[in-house]
C-alpha cells in the first residue's frame, strides 16, 4: 500500500512546465514509493518535480534524486504520466516523507525542448503559408532498449502532412522558419486555463488525451508570438532564437496513401549533423580524389565498375568450378570418391556452384554410387564451409562423424537418406585445417 503524506502537484502545473529552465538542486518531498514488477525498480511520486513526464510527443526527462540527509543518490531513468500524476522510475527505495534534491539531465532536456518547440514553429508556418495541418509528429534521436546507440540519420524528427511538399515549398519553409529564429524572433509564452475558464476558439483542445482530467487539471496553451497557439503539456523554449536553426530535408516518405512525412531537426543537432556530414564528405573526397560536387558521379562510376567486376568474377567462378567438377568426375569414375579443398576463395557460393554442376553431371552420366567432400576456408575470419555429398545416408553420417572429430566447431546436418550434408566451421582451432587437409588427402 502506498503511503501518502501530502497532495501532489498535478501534471500541467509541475515546476518543470512552469519554469523549464530549472535544472538542478530542486527540493521536494517524496509522497509515495512502490515497487514495480521489474527487479530493484520503484515508482516514486513527489510533491512537485522538475523532471518532465513523457507526453505531447516529447520523451521523458532523466536525472537523479539526491537525499541531502544521507548523501544517497538514486537514478531516475524515466518519468511517466498516470492521469494527472507524474511517476518517477528509480533504481532504489526511498521512504515517503523524505526530502530530496532533484537534478536534471540538462543537455537532454534542452535538446528535447529545441526539437519540440521547433515542431510547433514548423507546423505553424506550414499552416499559415499553405494551409497544411500537421496530422502527427514524432521526435527522433531518442535512445531505446532495442537501439541504445543513435545513428546520425536518427537525429531527424518528422511531421506527417496530407501531401508532399515541392522542392520550392521546402526551400521557402526553411527560409521562413529560420527567419523566425534570426531576424524576426518570436516570444514563446504559456497560458494556463482551468475548467472554469472558457477556452478560446483559437485553441484546439480536441487532441488532449482522454485520461487527462481537465476538471482537475490545467490546459496549457503554448503561444509563439501571434503566429501560433496550441495546447501542449511539454516543456518549451522562451524564444524562437533559442532554437539556433532548423534544417528541413528535401527527402520525404509516403505513408497512408497520399500522406507524407517531412523530416527536420533543430538546435544543436543541426551542427552535429553538419559535422558528421563534413567528416563523410572529407573522407569521400580523399577516397575518390575529387571535390564535393563530383562525389555522386564518382560513386556512380565506382558502382558500375563493381557491377562489371562482379559479373566477371561470377563468370570466372563458374568456369573454375566447372573445371573442378570435371576433375571430380574423373576421380569418382576411377575411385568412386573425390574432394575439393580451398584455402582461399572457397566460400559457400563457390562450393554451391560445384555441387550444382556435379549433380548435373552425375545424373547425365548415370553415376549413382559416390562420396564427395567440398570444403573451403575464409582465412581472414578463420571460418569455413563444408559439404558432404553421397548417395548413401550411412556414408554421409560416417564421414560427418570423422570430420567433427577433426574440426571441433563443425556443425551441420542433412543427407540422412543421401544427397547433401552441409555444415559451418565457426573457428578453425590451431592445427585443425592442416589435419583436415591430411585426412582428405589420405582418405579421398
Distance of alpha carbon 67 from alpha carbon 27, whole angstroms: 10
| Contact yes or no for 398/372 (Cβ under 8 A) | no
Q: What does the pLDDT look like over 251-295, one tens digit per residue?
A: 999 999 999 999 999 999 999 999 999 999 999 999 999 999 999
Distance of alpha carbon 410 from alpha carbon 385, whole angstroms: 9
pLDDT of 1 reads: 39
Fold assignment, 15-104: Elongation Factor Tu (Ef-tu); domain 3 (2.40.30)
Q: Is 178 helix (H, G, I), strand (E, B) or coil?
A: helix
Distance of alpha carbon 141 from alpha carbon 148, whole angstroms: 10
**Kind of pairing, strands 26-35 and 99-104?**
antiparallel
Distance of alpha carbon 89 from alpha carbon 46, whole angstroms: 12
Environment class of residue 169 by beta-carbon count within 10 Å: exposed (0-12), middle (13-18) or buried (19+)?
A: middle
Q: What are phi and psi of 71, to 5 degrees?
A: 80, 0
Distance of alpha carbon 116 from alpha carbon 334, whole angstroms: 77
Residues pairing with 81 in the sheet: 86
Distance of alpha carbon 204 from alpha carbon 115, whole angstroms: 21
| Contact yes or no for 64/24 (Cβ under 8 A) | no
Beta-carbon contacts of 179 under 8 Å, excluding residues fewer than 6 positions away, are none
CA 282 to chain centre: 25
Q: Would you list the DSSP string of 42-61?
A: EEEEESS-SSPPSBTTBPPP
Fold assignment, 109-288: 3.30.980
Task: Show me where the domains of the chain are located.
Answer: 15-104, 109-288, 314-443
Distance of alpha carbon 84 from alpha carbon 14, whole angstroms: 10
The span from the first CA to the last CA of the chain, in angstroms, equals: 76
Residues pairing with 223 in the sheet: 189, 229
For the domain spanning 314-443, the CATH number is 3.10.310
H or E segment and range at residue 160: strand 157-161
| Contact yes or no for 76/63 (Cβ under 8 A) | yes
| Contact yes or no for 116/246 (Cβ under 8 A) | no
Cell of 326: 570435371
Environment class of residue 364 by beta-carbon count within 10 Å: exposed (0-12), middle (13-18) or buried (19+)?
A: exposed
Environment class of residue 254 by beta-carbon count within 10 Å: exposed (0-12), middle (13-18) or buried (19+)?
A: exposed
| Contact yes or no for 73/66 (Cβ under 8 A) | yes
Q: How many helices (H) and strands (E) does the chain have?
A: 8, 18
Residues pairing with 86 in the sheet: 81
Beta-carbon contacts of 289 under 8 Å, excluding residues fewer than 6 positions away, are none
Strands of the 188-193 sheet, one edge to the other:
188-193, 219-224, 228-231
Distance of alpha carbon 260 from alpha carbon 81, whole angstroms: 30
Instruction: Please give the chain's pLDDT, 444 residues, in tens.
Output: 344 457 899 999 999 999 999 999 999 999 999 999 888 899 999 999 999 998 888 999 999 999 988 999 999 999 999 999 999 999 999 999 999 999 999 999 999 999 999 999 999 999 999 999 999 999 998 888 788 888 888 999 999 999 999 999 999 999 999 999 999 999 999 999 876 554 555 556 666 777 777 777 788 999 999 999 999 999 999 999 999 999 999 999 999 999 999 999 999 999 999 999 999 999 999 999 999 999 999 999 999 999 999 999 999 999 999 999 999 999 999 999 999 999 888 899 999 999 999 999 999 999 999 999 999 999 889 999 999 999 999 999 999 999 999 999 999 999 999 999 999 999 999 999 999 999 999 988
pLDDT of 201 reads: 52
**Kind of pairing, strands 371-378 and 337-342?**
parallel
Amino acid at each position: 500500500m502506498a503511503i501518502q503524506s501530502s497532495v501532489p502537484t498535478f501534471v500541467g502545473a509541475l515546476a518543470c512546465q512552469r519554469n523549464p529552465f530549472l535544472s538542478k538542486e530542486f527540493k521536494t518531498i517524496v509522497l509515495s514509493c512502490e515497487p514495480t514488477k521489474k527487479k530493484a525498480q520503484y515508482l516514486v511520486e513527489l510533491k512537485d518535480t522538475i523532471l518532465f513526464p513523457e507526453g505531447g510527443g516529447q520523451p521523458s526527462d532523466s536525472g537523479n534524486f539526491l537525499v541531502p540527509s544521507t548523501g544517497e543518490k538514486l537514478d531516475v531513468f524515466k518519468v511517466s504520466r498516470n492521469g494527472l500524476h507524474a511517476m518517477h522510475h528509480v533504481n532504489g527505495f526511498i521512504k515517503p516523507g523524505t526530502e530530496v534534491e532533484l537534478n536534471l539531465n540538462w543537455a537532454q532536456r534542452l535538446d528535447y525542448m529545441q526539437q519540440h518547440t521547433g515542431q510547433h514553429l514548423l507546423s505553424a508556418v506550414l499552416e499559415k503559408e499553405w494551409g497544411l495541418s500537421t496530422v502527427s509528429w514524432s521526435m527522433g534521436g531518442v535512445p531505446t532498449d532495442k537501439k541504445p546507440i543513435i545513428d546520425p540519420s536518427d537525429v531527424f524528427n518528422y511531421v506527417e502532412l496530407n501531401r508532399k511538399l515541392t522542392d520550392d515549398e521546402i526551400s521557402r519553409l526553411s527560409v521562413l522558419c529560420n527567419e523566425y529564429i534570426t531576424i524576426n524572433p518570436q516570444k514563446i509564452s504559456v497560458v494556463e486555463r482551468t475548467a472554469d475558464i472558457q477556452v478560446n476558439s483559437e485553441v484546439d483542445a480536441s487532441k488532449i488525451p482522454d485520461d487527462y482530467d481537465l476538471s482537475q487539471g490545467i490546459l496549457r496553451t503554448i503561444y509563439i508570438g501571434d503566429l501560433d497557439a496550441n495546447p501542449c503539456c511539454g516543456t518549451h523554449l522562451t524564444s524562437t532564437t533559442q532554437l539556433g536553426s532548423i534544417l528541413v530535408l528535401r527527402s520525404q516518405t509516403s505513408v497512408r496513401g497520399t500522406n507524407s512525412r517531412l523530416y527536420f531537426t533543430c538546435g544543436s543537432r543541426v551542427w552535429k549533423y553538419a559535422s558528421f556530414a563534413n567528416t563523410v564528405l572529407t573522407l569521400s573526397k580523399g577516397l575518390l580524389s575529387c571535390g564535393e560536387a563530383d562525389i555522386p558521379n564518382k560513386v556512380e562510376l565506382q558502382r558500375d565498375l563493381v557491377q562489371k567486376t562482379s559479373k566477371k568474377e561470377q563468370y570466372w567462378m563458374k568456369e573454375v568450378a566447372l573445371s573442378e567438377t570435371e576433375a571430380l568426375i574423373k576421380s569418382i569414375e576411377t575411385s568412386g570418391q573425390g574432394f575439393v579443398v580451398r584455402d582461399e576463395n572457397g566460400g559457400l557460393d563457390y562450393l554451391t556452384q560445384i555441387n550444382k554442376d556435379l549433380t548435373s553431371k552425375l545424373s547425365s552420366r548415370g553415376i549413382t554410387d559416390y562420396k564427395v567432400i567440398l570444403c573451403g576456408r575464409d582465412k581472414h575470419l578463420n571460418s569455413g564451409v563444408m559439404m558432404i555429398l553421397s548417395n548413401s545416408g550411412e556414408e554421409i553420417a560416417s564421414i560427418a562423424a570423422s570430420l567433427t572429430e577433426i574440426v571441433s566447431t563443425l556443425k551441420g546436418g542433412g543427407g540422412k537418406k543421401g544427397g547433401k550434408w552441409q555444415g559451418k566451421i565457426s573457428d578453425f582451432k590451431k592445427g585443425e585445417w592442416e589435419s583436415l587437409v591430411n585426412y582428405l588427402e589420405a582418405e579421398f
